[in-house]
Amino acid sequence: MRSFINRIVFFVTFGMLAVTGVASAEQYVGGNRTEAVYIAWTADDNGHLQGQVQVISLNQSNPSKTNATNASFAGNRSGSNVSLVFPMLSAFGGSTWTGRIGGQALSLDIPTTNGTPTELAGL
């Protein structure tokens, strides 16, 4: 099965969080005509990430309904580079999403198998 990449661009909605052991917390949203994506994470001083992603998409067989997908991830941030790693038993089945943060925007490459790469503009 061929693998394709979706490019998603997110915009930050939240900055720092004052919690013991957490150096920062960030939230990003993005979407297109058929999907909305929300990503949030906390990071420690070493760039280790713990977070959640939520995807709401139109149901392909019944566009009057939506599908919701949620998953936790771990990851790393080094400078402007990020990688989000999903567990094998998660909704995203062990995949790794990589990308870059530029200014207040997050751009992620998301592996897909549907053959239709999509760019999601920030909301």
| CATH code, domain carrying 72 | 2.40.128
Neighbours of 84 (CB within 10 A): 23
Closest CA to 87 of 75, 76, 78, 101: 75
Residue 20: both structure tokens together: 């013991």
121 pLDDT more than 80? no
* Structural domain count, the chain: 1
Q: How far apart are CA 73 and CA 92, in angstroms?
A: 10
The residue range of the domain holding 96 is 4-120
Strand partners for 76? 48, 83
Give the global pTM.
Answer: 0.73
Residue-wise pLDDT for 72-103, tens only, equals 999 999 999 999 999 988 888 888 888 888 77
Q: What is the identity of the amino acid at 76?
A: N
Closest CA to 73 of 59, 57, 60, 54: 54
Closest CA to 119 of 3, 8, 4, 37: 8
Q: What is the identity of the amino acid at 67?
A: N
Residue-wise pLDDT for 40-58, tens only, equals 999 999 999 999 999 898 9
